[in-house]
Chain A
Amino acid sequence: MKLPNNNKNLPFFAALSAFLSLVESLIILPVPFFKLGIANIPITIGFAFFNIKEIIYITVFKIIISHLLRGTLFGYPVIVAICGNIIFLAIAIPLFHLLRKHASFISISLIGAVAHTLGQIAGAAIFIPVKSLIYPALLALIIGFITGIINGVICNKIYYIFERGIKYESSSL
């Protein structure tokens, strides 16, 4: 795999996403298997900075590194994670380009979180009977809704800081 070198910040975003993915796996939630989704913050902000190919690089890097370090690289969690991320990217990227002039990251993050959850449920359905997934899926959707909004607000704040930095550097040149 050849890493694209057309943007110096791509490795930073990829590493940050993988790091946050590891960190969130260490945060114990009252409900097992659920995560805060903070690893998707760099990816969501990355929609504004990178093209689709680069976003996929960041996502693949995040999945491989985080699961490699967690020791689940060849287990079923990878399949579940891949399913979640595929649906997340397939819905969130077009939506970002469609809504960016009218909406903030809150919408993108929220819809992305719900899409990610649905993708994970679909992935989990390969290994677990669908009937036993109904109630965890509902719970996951509710948690995804809450974390999606919170992550969206965080994305807005971070992007606002980036924007100010970009404007400042542009004006100082």
Chain B
Amino acid sequence: MFMPGVINRRPGHGEINIKTKLTLTDLIIVIFILSLISIIFAKTLIGNKNEKELVIENGHDTFIYPLDIDRTISIDGLAGKTIIRIRDNKFSFISSPCHNKHCIAMGESRNSIACLPNNVVAYVREKKKKGMEFIIDEVTE
């Protein structure tokens, strides 16, 4: 049988006092935990928003573009210009001077497409630098 009266009379245990109503400390802790969770939530969502980028290599240069901004890119290859389109976090080769047009036939991709005759390779990777506020649209040697 449960005997609540026994609880507090254990030798050496002493009086136990804890508040049984909401206190100011409770409110501070609730607000603190809530703001902590909100910060983690916001950071995770913002951090994952621009997570991936498209890397295009043509044998000489490497071009890096964010995958979440729609655009059309023209890249010079061995045989001529390759047109790559970024749309809805996917990319596709829409024009290429190559003979077989396998790269165009690949359609939209989230991984990688290579056009070997024109020596143009495009692949998606995770961004190395996180929290960058400017748009990466540069040529890295």
Q: Residues of A with Cβ closer than 8 Å to B?
A: 6-9, 12, 48-49, 51, 96, 99-107, 110-111, 114, 134-135, 138, 141-142, 145, 149, 152, 156-157, 159-160, 162-163, 165-166, 168-170
Contacts and interface: CB of A to CB of B under 8 A. Distances in A.
Nearest to B3: A8
B41 A166 contact: no
What size tier do the contact residues of chain B reach? 20 to 34
B96 to A, nearest CB: 34
A142 B3 contact: no
Contacts of B17: 100-101
B20 A145 contact: no
A100 B16 CA distance: 9
Given A9-B2, A49-B16, A104-B18, A162 B7 contact: yes
Contact of A138 (B23, B34, B41): B41
B26 A104 contact: yes
Nearest to A46: B7
A6 B48 CA distance: 53
Contact of A162 (B4, B25, B29): B4
A145 B37 contact: yes
Contacts of A110: 29-30, 33
A138 B21 CA distance: 29
Contacts of B40: 138, 141
Contact of B37 (A6, A111, A142, A160): A142
A64 to B, nearest CB: 22
B23 A165 contact: no
B8 interface: yes
A151 B17 CA distance: 19
Contacts of B48: 134
**What 3 A-B pairs come out closest when comparing CB atoms?**
A169-B5, A103-B25, A165-B4
A44 to B, nearest CB: 10
A47 to B, nearest CB: 8
Given A9-B6, A169-B5, A141 B20 contact: no
Contacts of A9: 2-4, 6-7
A150 to B, nearest CB: 12
A79 to B, nearest CB: 24
A105 B37 CA distance: 20
A103 B19 contact: yes
B114 to A, nearest CB: 26
Contacts of A107: 25-26, 29-30
